């Protein structure tokens, strides 16, 4: 059982993460739908998120190093402050909202998001200490449960953010939507500055810049699998899917944002249930932490093998023109469930495998790979959709999942 002060700090970190995620999800939907309505094509919209993902790669790597030196409380508050700056940049006159300007704002937002996420994920291991009276098995379960709760609730709120973004755009317009989010996040930022514990996550031995890259082969393999996994999702989900729904199925902005919101909310809920799903179906937990991790690696490989089938079936259904709406609804639901379990397992593994004193650097390196996967997927989402269509995005997704499964196969052997 965690202590009361630790639980209060965990609640504060989680609240910060939730508030940030809500504005981040809403902002993404606002940008995609607003600029699509202005006549921008899929590749141009994808380019607006280029620096968002690119700077995320750099931020996770340097952010872990920064968190180990100055503390996770400071990196989290810096992230919240930068998101306020990014939102403020979008309040300029409409004629100044060029692709280049939005790319710059998204670059700042990308830095903010990954500082916030790295800080929140790293803080879990520090704020959920092991209870000496519990067995090691139960400690692993407790850590997995807390990681799944934070990760799943974050994605549920991101889905609510999609819904919020579409709703605000339809009701009050782009500028007013940005103003509302700016005020709400500013209140959260001020509370965080006052209440978040100083020195959280600061390393006892100040890390050197040459220690940025992980020396653990297991963490490197896990990071490689994460890169492929998230590229497989974003190659069709980030840009191609909302544009396809609007163009080919003639959905309104409200319908697109509502559907994506419901999908991400459901995805987050499944992530929170992942410990129960994997424990009952694949027996993730065993008598020792080593066996627990080995079983988790094997489980991740099995779930990724199942995941690669889904986009292939969807691509075939759309290719033969079999009820496009039904193919997407059913396929997205199945993909979301399986992907959510994979994501939750990976999030647990990186926290469990990280050294307590270098937790920020290990998690930062891992989420650098995560950001690189999103960057690759975002770029491919716009380009492949524009050149070859939505079915090609789905087929490429299946290939990338197979790559993730191949890497996870190595983890299962060595875990």
Residue partners of 160: CB distance under 8 A and separation at least 6? 22, 25, 261, 265
**Residue 56 in tokens:** 């995320």
What's the pTM value of the predicted model, to 2 decimals?
A: 0.74
Please report the domains of the chain, with CATH numbers, ordered by start residue.
4-195+213-414 (1.20.1250.20)
Residue partners of 122: CB distance under 8 A and separation at least 6? 64, 67, 72, 201, 351, 354, 359, 360, 363, 364
Instruction: List, for residues 299-339, the tens digit of each pLDDT value.
Output: 777 888 889 999 999 999 998 888 878 898 899 999 999 99
Strands (E), 293-412: none
Which of 59, 61, 162 is closest to 112 using CA atoms? 59
What's residue 291's pLDDT?
A: 59
Instruction: List, for residues 113-148, the tens digit of each pLDDT value.
Output: 888 887 777 777 666 654 444 444 445 556 777 788
Q: Give the CA angle between residues 342, 343, 344 to the nearest 5°.
A: 95
User: Can you list the residues of the chain whose pLDDT is less than 50?
Assistant: 1-2, 130-138, 280-288, 415
What's residue 205's pLDDT?
A: 59
Q: How many CB atoms lie within 10 A of CB 89?
A: 18
């Amino acid at each position: 059982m965690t202590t009361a002060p630790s639980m209060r700090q965990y609640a504060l970190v989680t609240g910060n993460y939730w508030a940030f995620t809500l504005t981040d999800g809403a902002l993404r939907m606002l940008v995609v739908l607003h600029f699509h309505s202005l006549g921008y094509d899929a590749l141009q919209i994808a380019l607006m998120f280029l620096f968002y993902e690119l700077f995320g790669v750099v931020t996770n790597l340097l952010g872990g190093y920064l968190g180990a030196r100055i503390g996770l409380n400071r990196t989290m508050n810096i992230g919240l402050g930068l998101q306020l700056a990014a939102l403020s940049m979008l309040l300029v006159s409409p004629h100044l909202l060029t692709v280049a300007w939005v790319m710059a704002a998204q670059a700042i937002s990308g830095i903010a998001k990954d500082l916030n996420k790295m800080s929140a994920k790293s803080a879990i291991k520090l704020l959920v200490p092991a209870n000496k009276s519990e067995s090691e098995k139960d400690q692993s379960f407790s850590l997995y449960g807390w990681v799944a709760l934070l990760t799943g609730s974050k994605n549920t709120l991101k889905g609510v953010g999609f819904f919020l973004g579409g709703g605000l755009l339809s009701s009050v317009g782009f500028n007013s939507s940005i103003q509302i989010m700016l005020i709400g996040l500013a209140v959260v930022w001020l509370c965080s500055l006052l209440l978040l514990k100083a020195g959280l996550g600061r390393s006892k031995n100040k890390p050197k810049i040459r220690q940025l890259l992980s020396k653990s082969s297991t963490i490197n393999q896990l990071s490689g699998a994460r890169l492929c996994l998230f590229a497989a999702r974003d190659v069709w989900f980030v840009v191609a899917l909302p544009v396809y729904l609007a163009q080919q199925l003639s959905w309104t902005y409200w319908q697109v944002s509502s559907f994506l919101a419901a999908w991400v909310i459901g995805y987050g809920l499944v992530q929170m249930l992942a410990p129960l799903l994997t424990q009952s179906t694949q027996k993730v937990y065993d008598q020792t932490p080593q066996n627990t991790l080995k079983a988790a690696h094997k489980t991740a490989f099995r779930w990724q093998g199942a995941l690669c089938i889904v986009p292939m079936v969807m691509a075939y259904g759309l290719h033969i023109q079999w009820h496009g709406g039904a193919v997407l609804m059913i396929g997205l639901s199945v993909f979301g469930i399986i992907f959510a379990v994979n994501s939750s397992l990976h999030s647990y593994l990186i926290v469990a495998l990280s050294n307590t004193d270098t937790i920020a650097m290990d998690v930062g390196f891992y989420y650098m790979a995560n950001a690189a996967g999103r960057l690759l997927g975002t770029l491919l989402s716009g380009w492949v959709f524009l050149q070859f269509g939505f079915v090609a995005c789905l087929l490429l997704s299946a290939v990338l999942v197979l790559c993730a499964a191949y890497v996870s196969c190595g983890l299962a052997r060595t875990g």
